[in-house]
Copies of this chain bind each other. A is one copy, B any other.
Amino acid sequence: MSHNKRLKTYPLAKAKHVKVHGRTTPTLTPLTLFWTGSGIELNMKGSELWIEIEADYQMYESWISIVVNGVPMSRLMVTTGRHWICLLRGLNSDTVKNVRVVKDVQPMSSDPRCLLQIHALKVDGELLPVPDKPLKIEFIGDSITSGEGSIGAKEETDWVPMLFTALRNYTAITAEALHADYRVFSQSGWGVLTSWDNNPHGNIPAYYEQICSVLTGERNEALGAFADHDFTSWQPDVVVVNLGTNDGGAFYSPAWTDPVSGKVHKQRLNEDGTFNEEDVQAFENAAEHFLVKLRTSNPAAHIVWAYGMLGTPMMPAIYRAVDAYKKKTKDRKVSVFQLPNTTEETIGSRSHPGLSAHTKAADELTRYLREILKN
């Protein structure tokens, strides 16, 4: 390769017009990416562009996608260490390219060493401003919202980062259709009350007010992951809550015993196979309280509980919880929206919704959000 002598290196904090996506700390020395779908966006006028990226992990490596003018051009595993990665080269330097580097994987709460950071850029031209989009959406969810299984062969069963995707995902597709900036807050297996296996710590609401407290480990703490999130810094127009799937699953999973207290948690089935009423009520209470918390943090947003991509057993309970919340608060900007179920034809890997299921869900959700945003 003939060396490109016009390339100049910029620490991220010194590079102008780098737009950061996703909940994170204000630090750019370096920038830490926590959530799936987070990343940086640039409008580059130049022929060549590199980023310096650093990764670490015990078990679960990170993956990124590189999106050029709205189309994914590259997707790669980021192995441990600090690397310079070439995003673009050989281009006409007179035209402006929109470039996004997107974290393709959710924060891995079970791997305390998980880390992905961007240190610097190299470019042989200039960066131009990246305007904010006219709409902001926050998606809150579980494995579906983390894009688990929306990539990869149907027969894949390993729980590995390779099978997660931020882009082949209803969140990214909906945001693009609505010309929205967006953020994702999601953990595979988690629910409103408990995770799929009845663990009460696997509940999203308890973590919602921090930057990324689902993570663990001293380094993540030092990086500020557990600090309170400043909601005033980014107020969404819409909050989409895609939760309930794992709460439903908990009824069919074994009990979870707290290793410390010995306390046993279990969402119970009645003998006739229906849900135990007390346990469903606990879910409804948790959902109702989560709505209160969401409203406190996002005073003006439309809150849409969007559920159904892997069946709808919790739908009556979700309707009851939303009803109860609305009755008490007179809050009108909360609604339930049913997402289309995944079928044999639209399933992906790991028995999760595939790309066509995500696309269909995004189409229907887009139409619904367009409608409520008119009002």
Contacts and interface: CB of A to CB of B under 8 A. Distances in A.
Interface of A: 1-2, 56-61, 63, 68-71, 73-77, 79-80, 86, 88-92, 95, 113, 151-153, 155-158, 160-162, 272, 274, 308, 312, 315-316, 319-320, 322-323, 332, 336, 338, 340-341, 343, 364, 367
A10 to B, nearest CB: 19
A27 to B, nearest CB: 23
Count the copies: 4
A65 to B, nearest CB: 9
Nearest to A155: B69
A90 B69 contact: no
Given A74-B76, A153-B68, A323-B320, A56 B90 contact: no
A58 B160 CA distance: 37
B316 A71 contact: no
Contact of A367 (B70, B76, B320, B343): B343
A-side interface mostly: loop
Nearest to A78: B86
Contacts of A77: 74, 86, 89
Contacts of A153: 68-71
Contacts of A320: 319-320, 323
Give 4 nearest A-B pairs by CB, closest first.
A1-B80, A69-B153, A319-B319, A338-B338
16 contacts: A2-B58, A2-B59, A59-B90, A61-B86, A68-B153, A69-B152, A69-B153, A71-B152, A74-B76, A76-B76, A88-B162, A92-B158, A272-B332, A316-B322, A319-B319, A319-B320
A254 to B, nearest CB: 22
Contacts of A367: 341, 343
